[in-house]
């Protein structure tokens, strides 16, 4: 069974509101679970999570989400809703790479790249896209090969780089697409940005047993740093949560949830046996 890999968005009290907003915007979407400050939901069948973690971290465009739209009507509708009280980075227009494309930050701070295209070209409606800049500039190619070596059922679809005379330094990654255990990701590099990766957008890896937790924890902390409660930051600054696949069940059990959480708060890497016996 493939690991479930999905994004977690950090909010300060607006997690459920944002989850409901997104579920009302996209077809075939629903909230699937709520426990404590956490909401999990599906957008067109793809899993997301929000966490009300307080004011410590703020979402920025270092990780955005491509939305693949298959008609002009669909892309225009999503653009209208997401632009309400939002901020436009690139206006919805025709570009060299798409007949219709735009980049926007919504009212909750989440960044979306909307593009007209065909679903079969990616196989996902929503695709996390990492933007390397600042201290990580020039490391995107290396990072892609690192991630695809860690996740066993992985592949690189393509890596397109800037050529001499373009608006970015020659050799930087213009656009790349790769998959980790069947989940498609994209990556870009760009000079001149002040924002950098932080915990406000993390990638959750759901593991079937302790062996898998140990494996991903060891691989992704190599050159990076451990945090608490199953969180870590890799050597490129990307935040990950390495969790057991039954964590939602454990934390939604009214009899066990409090005890489980007390144990989790003591841990860096999560220990499944301790959580089960709490």
DSSP-derived 3-state class of residue 15: helix
pLDDT of residue 131: 97
Which residues have CB under 8 Å from 80's CB, separation 6+?
none
Q: Which residue has the tokens 């919805």?
A: 92
pLDDT of residue 192: 84
- Distance separating alpha carbons of residues 244 and 161, to the nearest angstrom: 37
3-state SS record for 213-275: HHHHHHHHHCCCEECCCCEEECCCCCEEEEEECCHHHHHHCCCCHHHHHHHHCCCCCCCHHHH
pTM: 0.95
Which tokens is 268 given? 């860096």
pLDDT of residue 256: 87
- Distance separating alpha carbons of residues 196 and 61, to the nearest angstrom: 8
**Tens digit of each residue's pLDDT (9 = 90 or more) over 133-151:** 999 999 999 999 999 999 9
| Low-confidence residues in the chain, pLDDT < 70 | 1-3
Asked if 83 contacts 146 with a C-beta cutoff of 8 angstroms, the reply is no
Give the chain's domains with CATH numbers.
Answer: 1-58+199-278 (3.10.180.10), 61-197 (3.30.720.110)
């Amino acid at each position: 069974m493939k690991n479930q890999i999905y994004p977690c968005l950090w909010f300060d009290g607006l997690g459920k509101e944002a989850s409901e907003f997104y579920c009302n915007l996209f077809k075939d979407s629903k909230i699937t679970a709520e426990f404590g400050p956490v909401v999990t939901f599906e957008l067109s069948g793809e899993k997301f999570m929000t966490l009300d973690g307080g004011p410590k971290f703020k979402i920025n465009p270092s990780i955005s989400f491509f939305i693949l739209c298959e008609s002009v009507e669909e892309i225009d509708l999503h653009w209208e809703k997401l632009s309400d009280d939002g901020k436009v980075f690139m206006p919805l227009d025709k570009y060299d790479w798409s007949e219709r494309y735009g980049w926007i930050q919504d009212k909750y701070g989440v960044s979306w790249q909307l593009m007209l295209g065909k679903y079969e070209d990616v196989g996902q409606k929503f695709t996390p896209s990492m933007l390397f800049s600042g201290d990580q500039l020039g490391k995107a190619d290396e990072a892609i090969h690192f991630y695809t070596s860690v996740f066993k059922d992985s592949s690189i679809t393509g890596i397109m780089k800037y050529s001499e005379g373009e608006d970015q330094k020659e050799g930087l990654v213009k656009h790349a697409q790769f998959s980790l255990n069947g989940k498609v990701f994209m990556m870009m590099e760009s000079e001149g940005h002040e924002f950098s990766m932080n915990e406000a957008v993390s990638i959750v890896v759901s593991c079937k047993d302790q062996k898998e937790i140990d494996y991903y924890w060891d691989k992704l902390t190599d050159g990076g740093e451990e945090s608490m409660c199953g969180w870590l930051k890799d050597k490129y600054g990307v935040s990950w949560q390495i969790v057991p696949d039954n964590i939602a069940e454990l934390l939604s059990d009214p009899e066990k949830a409090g005890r489980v959480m007390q144990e989790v708060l003591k841990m860096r890497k999560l220990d499944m046996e301790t959580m089960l016996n709490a």
